[in-house]
Amino acid sequence: MTVLKNLYDVQQLLKKYGILVHLGKRKWDIELMAIELDNLYKAGLLEKKIYLNAKLVLKHEHEYEERLEREKRLD
């Protein structure tokens, strides 16, 4: 099984299915990647363990981006 550890790993997983995401803002990229993962899983193309691993990575990365935005607003 593939272990996904970071955003790059999730990008590479999506790339295997011909999905490249670049909207210009990291947070938006993460959100669209989550939608694409959902679609791949619903289509039966991803194993549940890989899907959940990738979603967890994206959740962590999204929370990090949210934290950065909050800190930026406080400055």
Contacts of 45 (CB under 8 A, 6+ apart): 17
CA–centroid distance for 73 within its chain: 24
27-40 pLDDT, tens digit per residue, is 999 999 999 999 99
5-72 is a CATH 1.10.287.760 domain: yes
Percent of the chain beyond pLDDT 70? 99
The answer to whether the predicted template modeling score (pTM) of the entire model surpasses 0.85 is yes
Percent of the chain clearing pLDDT 90 (strictly above): 92
The pLDDT, as a whole number, for residue 1 is: 57
Structure tokens that stand for 53 in this block: 């691993």
**Which tokens belong to 31?**
């959100």
